[in-house]
Structure 1
């Protein structure tokens, strides 16, 4: 009976640690995906229509399953580390980031509206999609 409990405990310990439960091939997939998401986040830091933080949140999740060193690098980053740690600990988005999301969405919608002169159905669909995203952002704790 004790042997069964020990093997059960080992299985639970393995299932709790994401890196231990992930195969070598999947760790490579998560590593490549994490690096790609960091690249998209870097591009998003310079382009107003591409978000940065969501890509870095996903990258941190990928690195948690593949590379503790890169995960730590992201979490300790001087510019984005506090945002990522706040998200991981409380699911929080700072008020300044919420206002930036609102401004970026408004600019993006204005560019869409004036740049393409869409019909009413497409306008409504894009507005609904953007409002859904903003609703999610503004319902997170600050």
Structure 2
């Protein structure tokens, strides 16, 4: 039963993570970690594919081994949200309500990313993996 529920949830969160790469207000890091968690419990094949990914693999290994993410991952997440989200707010939105809503979503995303523990000696872990 879990497998039938967890595998689709893994794909849902993987899709959200991929969307987070290009969408300004959606952080990908928490969704990648959720996808890995669901795949680890439902599909060894998909879990291994994520672990082998050059983009997501090091982040997942850090999380699974030490329950942390790298300072670099945090910086990329925050800077990309600020750049893309800030540009959207400044240039693409006329409605004050949309601007405030977008800023609020960016703040929530940044809070989630910043609340995750930062890996000590993360460069060593990433290079070994």
- List gaps (5 residues or longer) in structure 2: 120-129
Residue 33 of structure 1 corresponds to 9
Shift of the 52–125 alpha-carbon distance from structure 1 to 2, 3 Å rule, reads closer
Task: State the number of aligned residues.
Answer: 116
Q: Deviations over 1:28-67 (max 9, x none)?
A: 222123234334444544x253544333212111112211
Work out the CA distance in 1 between the residues paired with 2:3 and 2:11.
12
Residue 40 of structure 2 corresponds to 64
Which of 64, 70, 89 matches 1:94?
A: 70
Shift of the 123–41 alpha-carbon distance from structure 1 to 2, 3 Å rule, reads closer
State the structure with more CA Rg.
1
Residue 110 of structure 1 corresponds to 87
Which of 24, 29, 34 matches 1:53?
A: 29
Work out the CA distance in 2 between the residues paired with 1:134 and 1:67.
30
Work out the CA distance in 1 between the residues paired with 2:17 and 2:113.
18
Shift of the 36–124 alpha-carbon distance from structure 1 to 2, 3 Å rule, reads closer
Give the superposed CA RMSD: 2.6
